[in-house]
Amino acid sequence: MKVNPEDKLHSQKVYVCDEVLAAQQLACLEVLYDFNHTRPSEISKRAELMQQLFAEVGKGCYIEPPLHANWGKHTHFGCDVYVNFNLTLVDDTHIYIGNNVMIGPNVTIATAGHPIDPLLRQQVTQFNIPVTIGNNVWIGANSVILPGVSIGDNTVIGAGSIVTKNIPSNMVTMGNPCKVTREISDHDKVYFYKNRKY
């Protein structure tokens, strides 16, 4: 029975990237190159390239170039997702992004990691664990989401956060490592930023 080389990517086990996988990845990177070289006025061309590049793209999804991705085709976008410039998708396995998600500039979402053992790293081994981001999430600028993390619906990830563990729904979080600071509450219906009222 012939084994699909790409199955290694989604096994959540340690593996070595071979020439077959590298060739498949190159095809994805060619489409990404075209996307990043569109003109600002070429909105329809960008939308068409996004459909080629990603596993799923919901209606109303907008991504500001430049975009960086290892594969593209393992990332799933819901509807009405807004992505500011310089998103990095280390999508060696699946990234699931829900509806109405806002992603600030310079965010990294990583599914891939490397063993701590230095001898294994010398062999250029890696592992991949999926990332899931719920609906109506806001990820602040310069945040990093690490492999295996799930973020619940409506949650805010503060700018500059390093998200190493799952985050529940309806929370305001921040820091390195990212921690829950409080629950979203009626206070947030009165104040939009610190002591500034709507």
Query: Which residues are known to be catalytic?
Result: 114
Q: Return d(Cα 167, Cα 179) in angstroms, integer.
A: 8
Torsion of CA 28, 132, 155, 65, to 10 degrees: 0
Sheet holding 82-83: strands in order across?
62-63, 82-83, 102-103, 138-139, 156-157, 171-174, 179-183
DSSP state of 6: G
Q: Do 78 and 62 touch, CB atoms closer than 8 A?
A: no
Residue given tokens 């280390």 in the structure block: 90
Give percent helix, percent strand, percent coil of the chain, each to the nearest 5. Answer: 20, 30, 45
Distance of CA 133 to the CA centre of its chain: 8
From residue 21, alpha-carbon distances to 106, 120, 142 in Å are 27, 19, 29
Strands 162-163 and 144-145: parallel
